[in-house]
Amino acid sequence: MLTGLKRAWESRAARKFRRNRMAVAALAVIALYLAVGLWVLSVDGLKALGDSTGWWNVRSAPLVDALSTEQAGAVVGPLEEPGFGIKPRPEERLTAVKARLDDLGKAFRLRARGGEDREARIRAALAEINYGAVRVADRPVEELRAQWEAVKRQYDTIAESPNLDRDPAALPALRDLEAATAALFTEPGGVRGFLQDFRLSLGTDRQGRSIMVKAVYSIKVAIQIGLVVAIVATLLGALLGAAGAFFGGWVDYFVVWLYSTLSSLPDLVLLGVLVFMFTGSVFDDVNRPYLSLVPLYVAMCLTFWIGPCRIIRGEVLKIKELEYVQAATAIGFSRLYVLIRHALPNTLHLMFINFSLLFIAAIKNEVVLSFLGLGVKSGTSWGLMIQESTQQVINGFYWQIGAATAFMFVLVLAFNILSDALQDAFDPKHVG
């Protein structure tokens, strides 16, 4: 095993690959994405383990807990806030202040009910207000109320200004108002503060969830789909193609018939139909989110094996006539042994290239299907983010679609560079 790795590392293809700087950089990017995906997966696992055994509560370690399925669905701030701390127009800033003041006002207007003391009810309502880690300041209710009334008056004076966007004098007043509003709340510090900045760095979506967390979390979904589909489809295609080419006769007729039939249908239509077939089944159950990706896996594996199948079939057709395969037959090995030991290993380079191509195709198709409402139904993925942002784009809010596209672009580009480099590295006629 170790000598095998050493040999692979020192092989001509590997040396050629390492000389290609772009390819190495692409590989590093992919490794980073993979690491993030694994990280999210293991945090989710730890969380489930902690919840069932009480062994360790991940939520007590904010840095570990920063990326998880739960966090991807958590509200962290105001709705549709832009990222990079870019302040929106004064009008919008004023609306944001009003939203927070209104939230507090709702609590203060509560009356005593039943056996409950009024003040206790208000305190409970205040405790529930949170924008992620931002919470209402921990002060006596009356003091807080007085402070809130003062800020409200400040707000009213500014709100009277007929055209806030064009009034230069309004800006300092607005800044004061924002500071006063912020004083009603406690901003988290230290690690929590850093995490809050991280969460708000790309803004929030329509439910106030962090776009950054969603985009990073979606790496896991993409890699999950990419890996499963690429591995299964490549192996399935390789086995079918190799078997057809090697055994010939009715096996080959069947394989060729199967893939010609499947490939005569448009890919996306077939995918859509296959996914649609699962609607309403066990895999479409909100209570079992871990099954929700299965229809996607199945549909993509059933359509994507065609590419590798064709290519590997062609290669095995060629290899089977080579003299080393005939020599193996002359020794007396069984046909299956010759196929697995002599023919298939010599198509390994093609499998690698096909794997990386299918990986990209799977990720892109997940996005397309999710956008059409056929892919990931609940949870988070780049496709869902893009689907959600169709409404926002009309309103000029590009943060969500931008983030999803950028994260996907980097991964797809890296994989394209990688498969290109693999192709060159394995091509004996390519000099470089």
Partner 1 sequence: MSAAPGIQPAPAPTPNSPPLLDVRDLVKHFPVRGGVLNTAQAKVHAVNGVSLEVRRGEVVGVVGESGCGKSTLGKLVIRLIEPTRGTLLYAGRDITRLSHSELMPLRRRMQIIFQDPYSSLNPRLTVAGLLKEAVRFHRVVPERELDGYIDALIARVGLRTESKGKFPHEFSGGQRQRIGIARALAVRPEFLVADEPVSALDVSIQAQVLNLMMELKAELGLTLLFISHDLKVVEHFCDRVLVMYLGHIVETLPCENLHARARHPYTRALLGANPVDDPDDRRPLTVLRGEVPSPLNPPPGCPFVTRCPLAMEVCREKMPPTESHGPGQAVACWAVNEPVVPASSR
Q: Say which amino acid occupies 44.
A: D
Nearer to partner 1 (CB atom), residue 243 or residue 408: 243
Nearer to partner 1, 277 or 322 (CB): 322
Write the interaction track for partner 1 spanning residues 376-415; mark x where CB under 8 A is met and - where it is not: ----------------------------------------
Count residues binding partner 1 (CB under 8 A).
17
Q: Kindly state the smallest distance separating residue 430's Cβ from partner 1, in Å.
A: 16
- What's the min distance (Å) between Cβ of 330 and partner 1? 5
Nearer to partner 1, 280 or 332 (CB): 332
Residue with tokens 């105001």: 78
- Shortest Å distance, C-beta 352 to partner 1: 14
Kindly state the smallest distance separating residue 4's Cβ from partner 1, in Å.
11
User: Among residue numbers 304 through 363, which ones bind partner 1 (CB under 8 A)?
Assistant: 322-324, 326-335, 341-342, 345-346
* Residue 79 beta carbon to partner 1: minimum distance, rounded to whole angstroms: 59
- By C-beta, is 159 or 327 nearer to partner 1? 327
Cα separation, 44 vs 59, whole angstroms: 11
Tokens 């010609």 label which residue?
260
Q: What pairs with residue 135 in β-bridges?
A: 130, 186
| Nearest one of 175, 94, 115, 105 to 136, comparing CA atoms | 105
| Beta carbon nearer to partner 1, 42 or 326 | 326
Determine, following the binding rule CB under 8 A, whether residue 247 of this chain makes contact with partner 1. no
Q: Can you tell me the distance from the alpha carbon of 26 to that of 144, in angstroms, rounded to the nearest whole number?
A: 54
Q: Tell the smallest beta-carbon distance from residue 231 to partner 1 (Å).
A: 21
Cα distance between residue 147 and residue 127, in whole Å: 17
Q: Closer to partner 1 at the Cβ: 233 or 325?
A: 325
Backbone angles phi, psi at 210, to 5 degrees: -75, 125
For every residue of 56-81, DSSP letters joined together read: --GGG-HHHHTSSHHHHT-B-SSTT-
Q: 136, exposed or middle or buried, with CB in 10 Å at 0-12, 13-18, 19+? A: buried
For the chain, the farthest-separated pair of C-alpha atoms sits apart, in whole angstroms, at 97
Q: Which residues bind partner 1 (CB under 8 A)?
A: 322-324, 326-335, 341-342, 345-346
